[in-house]
A and B are shown apart, each in its own frame.
Chain A
């Protein structure tokens, strides 16, 4: 444990991670507020009005980052679940418990804002035939399933492991959501941003969206850390 850098296994213990989690939570909460204010400022006051969709497009600053987070939080949760099953660490399962409600919240926000966006642009709140909408809805049910399973089992160890396994099984849904707009011809528009080519939108719009995404990221970390501290206090 004398190697340079962070002592990872030192922090794998809930007791030693507890103060660090508090620090991370505070820093990330402050960052989230700053990013959110900056993102909302750029998004609502600086960015131009969209040529086709008018002012209604501005919901993108909530919708897209929330949708990103809904998928990303699930993947992170599944990774912690796998780590927990493989390494048998208590903290990993606590991370799964801490992340699930945040992920469910973002999935719900993505669906809700998507419905409000769809009303003026598609003329309807909800389309049953759209693959991306369906897969995102399934994602919400998966989050609920993991949380319900954890809540239903009294014995802590079994609850954690069962929830973790379900989370890992549900991962098959994530690529379906991500590629649904490519593989199927859906009403939902294709991705506006990708890693390989320049974003197909104005620079200020892009900045606003990234700022909001950063805000959601830091918010997720902060909330997960607070919930993790509660879990630690509850169990130890």
Chain B
């Protein structure tokens, strides 16, 4: 597992522009909203958690296509399917590496966006924590969709149709936790539910992803 994580991270490092593109997309989407809805500070403060979460969702979905595509194209994936290592573990490792290069940067840069939206400083922690718990869930669930749409034409649009409905609970809980904290209530409930979703997804989803990979590369 470690080898695959290291290999994928190394590959991502060699192609830094891919990582940067997803991150820039996140920043640009988040910056478009104030231009669209107007610069009213109170309004911006109110919509900030939702906007940041939706931007994170779209950005992580855009980078999903890369999860298996390169390995599928050069045949590495077939070797992995045939190899001795259990496919579930391989999938988990690849998903983890994917999250480290696409999800973690979002968590780190989110407070900066929150600053743009003039969110109270006390909420940065909750926002970062909710993204820290939520974005891995996005990667894990998204991997199923990425595996199902592997090598299809128009796969990107189809992928969003498959994956976005499954993202909705994460979005509601993630944005909800920040809004709870903004209202002066404890965001603990939402964060705990997010954590629970992360655990359940991490246990079951790689199995489904592995099955989907087998179907896609028959």
Q: Of B65-73, B105-113, B118-126, B210-218, which stretch is located at the interface?
A: B210-218
Grouping DSSP codes into helix (H, G, I), strand (E, B) and loop, the A interface class, with mixed when no group exceeds half, is helix
A171-199 to B contact mask, C-beta < 8 Å, 1/0: 00000100000000000000000000000
B-chain residues with CB within 8 Å of residue A170 when the two chains form the complex: 166
- Please name the 10 residue pairs, one residue from A and one from B, whose CB atoms are nearest each other, closest first: A141-B165, A161-B215, A145-B162, A138-B165, A162-B148, A152-B158, A145-B161, A162-B215, A165-B212, A148-B161
Contacts of A85 in B (CB 8 A): 211
Q: How large is the interface on B (under 10, 10 to 19, 20 to 34, 35 or more residues)?
A: 20 to 34
> In the complex, which residues of chain A have a beta carbon less than 8 angstroms from the beta carbon of B153?
152
A169 and B215: CB pair below 8 A?
Answer: no
Complexed CA–CA distance, A107 and B127 (Å): 34
Q: Is B202 an interface residue (CB 8 A)?
A: no
Q: Which residues of A contact B43 (CB under 8 A)?
A: none
Contacts of A119 in B (CB 8 A): none
Could you tell me which B residues sit within 8 Å of A by CB distance?
144, 148-149, 152-155, 158, 161-162, 164-166, 168-169, 172, 208, 211-212, 215-216, 218
Chain A CB within 10 A, most for which of B158, B165, B172, B208:
B165
Give me the interface of A with B, judged by CB distance under 8 Å: 85, 134, 138, 141-142, 144-145, 148-149, 152-153, 157-158, 161-162, 165-166, 168-170, 176
- Beyond the given A145-B165, A158-B216, please list 8 additional residue pairs across the A-B interface where CB-CB is below 8 A: A149-B148, A152-B149, A152-B155, A153-B152, A162-B148, A162-B216, A165-B208, A170-B166
Cβ contact of B218, chosen from A138, A149, A157, cutoff 8 A: A157
Instruction: Find the residue from A85, A138, A162, A166 having the highest chain B CB count within 10 A.
Output: A162
Residues on A with C-beta less than 8 A from B149 are 149, 152
Q: Is the CB of B162 within 8 A of A166?
A: yes
Contacts of B158 in A (CB 8 A): 148-149, 152
Q: Which partner residue on chain B sits nearest A147 by CB separation?
A: B161
| B158 closest partner in A (C-beta) | A152
Given A148-B158, A149-B148, A166-B162, also A138-B208 (CB < 8 A) = no
